[in-house]
Structure 1
Amino acid sequence: MRVVLSTYGSRGDVQPLAGLAVQLRERGAEVRVCAPPDEEFAQRLAAVGVEVVPVGASVRSLVRGALPAPEELPRRAAVMVERFHAAVAAVAEPGGAVLATGVFPAVAGAQAAAEAVGARFVYAALQPTMLPSPHHPPIEFPLAPYRPGLTGNRELWADNIRTMNALFRDAVNDHRASIGLPTVDNVRDHVFTERPWLATDELLGPWPRPVDREVVQTGAWLLADERPLPADLSAFLDAGEPPVYAGFGSMPLHGAPDAARVLVEAARRQGRRVVLARGWAELAPVDGADDCFTVDEVNQQALFPKVAAVVHHGGAGTTTAAALAGTPQVVVPQIVDQPYWAARVAALGIGAAHDGPVPTLDSLSAALRRALTPEVGARAAAVAGRIRTDGAAVAARLLLG
């Protein structure tokens, strides 16, 4: 059976599919992954033996550039729907399966391909806030804010249908009509389907009930990482007390140009050394002091248990990796679902949520001081033992069952 996994997004959207692909292949499935053409994504997938179908433009180049003008969005959405339909349709097979996540137009294109080919389609969310629920509001689009006067979550989700239709319905329906598929009135609910999947841990990212639709929560899709830490990093770790890890992954941090200095100095205020992850923000040492070590791509599963705290942007993958390590976290949320993960870290008592996306030396120092207390450390260690690691295996069994 051939399974096509499709996404367009940052590393946090691609790596879970790598974890799922490994589990699918172990069960005899033939797997293809349609994903952005960024070299680091291709390398990570190739390392686990997964064939990649590159689609669209580099995500890194997009997020580092200027935001598109509002009038550009419909054209970009239409192009993405068409590109993902073509890519998925070229490798999907009748009777097979297509699972899609990531940005909405890419999911809609993958779904149209599955319908046209005759493959089973599954939409999977990588965070609860993507799915309609009376327990949380929808993510607010910067170019399509909530209408004034709407306060309840049900009202906001009902209005979200109008927003999604305004942003994406023409692009989706024009493409569907061009390939002979029926058009849809409610584009959001059609693409999300009546039974979406949620790939989060039940403790870290719960799906509160009651709700208005069935959601299949599989657990987070983790990819085991056996890579050793670089020898020079291991030597740095062994040379003193556990340092603070600080990095923002795929976030360019346009609004925080002084982030590296703030991160390093906040750790120093707590008497800690720093492992600084360069990432898409291109964080770099602020001076030549030997208490700071800079890394590029690194095995977080091996590193996080060896550090005193993890300061990060609040991506689902980094949040889960730090929680599994039993290491306290400081989340400085930037966009989309990251404020949700910051709130979950604070609610579980396994770290601190920074107020807002731009840390100052005082604000980050205060958050880091809270995270480094013995109480938070003990709670983080206790929660680590309660997080499931079989989510990708659960999803693979469901997809092939």
Structure 2
Amino acid sequence: MRVLLMAYGSRGDVEPLVGVAVRLRALGVDVRMCTPPDFAELFEAVGLPLVPIGEPVRAFVKAAVTGKTAVPAEGLPQRAAAMTATAYEAVAEAAQGCDVVLATGLLPAVAGARSAAEQLGIPYVFVAYFPAYLPSPHHPPFERPGRPFPPEVTDNRELWDLDTETMNVLFGTGLNAHRETVGLPPVDDFRTYVLTDRPWLATDPTLSPWLEPAELDVVQTGAWFRPDDRPLPADVEAFLEAGEPPVYVGFGSIPLRDADDVARAAVEAVRAQGRRVLLSRGWADLALKDEQDDCLTVGEVNHHALFRRVAAVVHHGGAGTTTTAARAGAPQVVVPQLADQPYWAGRVAALGIGAAHDGPHPSFESLSAALRTALAPETAARATAVAAGVRGDGAAVGARLLIDAARA
């Protein structure tokens, strides 16, 4: 059996697929990856073959976060159409001989992946890493660039209907134009075509429950993690052993428009709480500006091992980072930047396992207030209690379901 796993997006879109790939490979399945080329080293480290999609995605993510996008709102349909075509070409090549395609990430690219699977006659599965991607009366959709919702419309069902129209305009026209070039019929509803009527939701039910009733027959698997037994780097281990648990600060694969200011504010706010700092470079290239020994800058590390040994985690609110910190019982401060990150910030606050920062631009004062909440004894106790209910078998569940989908 051969499986193709496709994701077009940041590290948060790609990393969960590695967990499923490792599980599939242990079950004797041949796995191929199809993602932007940014993640070639990640796949090389675990021995997974990669068919890259287009150009590196880091610049695209940076433009989205900083607001310096090269494409104005009126140019989005053309950009989406190009993304669909590029993803189709990569998946059509990578999926040769495969028995099932699983896809996630930016929806125009996922649409190209589904068209390729359809053209090859291969079963297709869509997976989301947060509920707000999926239509439900319990939450609203995202607003699309240049297409704000009318302020008088507040009912979630009406907003999802408007979102259907918006996606058909922004993404559906380009999809159908491309499908015509490869001999496929047009689709009437872009979102339904991409999501299907039975999408998967790879989130932990404790942190992110799927609420019924809903329009879709959603399959919730639990969050996807890869087994990670990498030791911490020697300098990180020495730093941890040299004093009280530090506060970790990192924004993963999210660039920041004001990275130097954020790093300075974060370090000063943590120090003001009497704590040491572990500062993760990430795609924001966060860096220290002084030589004090209470702060250490780190690169790629095993978060599963590290987060069990820190006093709190300050981060951007990606699904993987949020769930990893929750599973480790580490209190959190979430500084959301875009997409699903405000959702995860809200869940952290609602569960009492940390603080949701108000907006994407932290200051010394705002981070200090959030850290006081996260470092309070009652927050630590609550984080420990919630950690006991966070599942660790999601990737194994996803792997078994994918094998079943290939055999159906």
TM tier, smaller: over 0.9
Asked if the contact 2:149–2:159 (Cα under 8 Å) also holds between the matched residues in 1, the reply is: yes
Correspondence for 2:307 among 290, 294, 304: 304
Give the corresponding residue for 1:124.
Answer: 127
SS of corresponding position for 2:5? strand
Give the corresponding residue for 2:330.
Answer: 327
Give the corresponding residue for 2:244.
Answer: 241
Structure 1 residue 94: Cα displacement: 6.1
Give the corresponding residue for 2:271.
Answer: 268
Correspondence for 1:338 among 334, 338, 341: 341
| 1:355-377 C-alpha deviation (Å, 9 max, x unpaired) | 11111111110110111111110
| 1:12-36 C-alpha deviation (Å, 9 max, x unpaired) | 0000011111111112211111001
Asked if the contact 1:242–1:306 (Cα under 8 Å) also holds between the matched residues in 2, the reply is: yes
Give the corresponding residue for 2:73.
Answer: 70
Structure 1 residue 142: Cα displacement: 2.9
Asked if the contact 2:266–2:364 (Cα under 8 Å) also holds between the matched residues in 1, the reply is: yes
Structure 1 residue 281: Cα displacement: 1.1
Give the corresponding residue for 1:167.
Answer: 170
| 1:191-237 C-alpha deviation (Å, 9 max, x unpaired) | 11011110111111110111122100011111121111111111111
Superposed, 1:276-291 pairs within 5 Å as 276-291=279-294
Check 1:94–1:183 CA distance in 2 against 1; reply closer, same or farther (3 A cut). farther
TM-score of the pair, normalised by structure 1: 0.97
Superposed, 1:2-401 pairs within 5 Å as 2-38=2-38, 41-65=39-63, 66-67=68-69, 68-93=71-96, 96-255=99-258, 257-401=260-404
Question: C-alpha distance in 2, partners of 1:380/1:63?
Answer: 31
Question: C-alpha distance in 2, partners of 1:94/1:256?
Answer: 44
Check 1:95–1:230 CA distance in 2 against 1; reply closer, same or farther (3 A cut). closer
Range with bigger deviation, 290-299 or 250-259: 250-259
Check 1:294–1:255 CA distance in 2 against 1; reply closer, same or farther (3 A cut). closer
Unaligned runs of 5+ in 1: none
Question: C-alpha distance in 1, partners of 2:58/2:401?
Answer: 32
Question: C-alpha distance in 1, partners of 2:215/2:52?
Answer: 36
Asked if the contact 2:200–2:221 (Cα under 8 Å) also holds between the matched residues in 1, the reply is: yes
| 1:322-381 C-alpha deviation (Å, 9 max, x unpaired) | 011111000011101000000101111111111111111111101101111111101111
Asked if the contact 1:256–1:359 (Cα under 8 Å) also holds between the matched residues in 2, the reply is: no
TM-score of the pair, normalised by structure 2: 0.95
Question: C-alpha distance in 2, partners of 1:37/1:91?
Answer: 14
SS of corresponding position for 2:8? coil
- The one-letter code of the counterpart of 1:317 is G
Unaligned runs of 5+ in 2: none
Q: How many residues align?
A: 399
Question: C-alpha distance in 2, partners of 1:25/1:298?
Answer: 24
SS of corresponding position for 1:51? coil
Range with bigger deviation, 67-76 or 259-268: 67-76
Asked if the contact 2:259–2:284 (Cα under 8 Å) also holds between the matched residues in 1, the reply is: no
Identity score, percent = 61
Range with bigger deviation, 205-214 or 337-346: 205-214
Question: C-alpha distance in 2, partners of 1:260/1:148?
Answer: 36
Asked if the contact 2:259–2:286 (Cα under 8 Å) also holds between the matched residues in 1, the reply is: no
Asked if the contact 1:93–1:119 (Cα under 8 Å) also holds between the matched residues in 2, the reply is: no
Asked if the contact 1:165–1:186 (Cα under 8 Å) also holds between the matched residues in 2, the reply is: yes
SS of corresponding position for 2:289? coil
Structure 1 residue 57: Cα displacement: 1.6
Question: C-alpha distance in 1, partners of 2:162/2:305?
Answer: 44
Asked if the contact 1:94–1:117 (Cα under 8 Å) also holds between the matched residues in 2, the reply is: no
Check 1:258–1:95 CA distance in 2 against 1; reply closer, same or farther (3 A cut). closer
Question: C-alpha distance in 1, partners of 2:259/2:44?
Answer: 33
Question: C-alpha distance in 1, partners of 2:360/2:24?
Answer: 37
Question: C-alpha distance in 2, partners of 1:209/1:330?
Answer: 29
- Give 4+ residue runs of structure 1 displaced > 4 Å after superposition: none
SS of corresponding position for 1:82? helix
SS of corresponding position for 1:58? coil
| 1:116-144 C-alpha deviation (Å, 9 max, x unpaired) | 00100001111111000000000112322
Asked if the contact 2:147–2:166 (Cα under 8 Å) also holds between the matched residues in 1, the reply is: yes
Structure 1 residue 63: Cα displacement: 2.6
Asked if the contact 1:94–1:119 (Cα under 8 Å) also holds between the matched residues in 2, the reply is: no
Asked if the contact 2:3–2:98 (Cα under 8 Å) also holds between the matched residues in 1, the reply is: no
Structure 1 residue 75: Cα displacement: 2.3
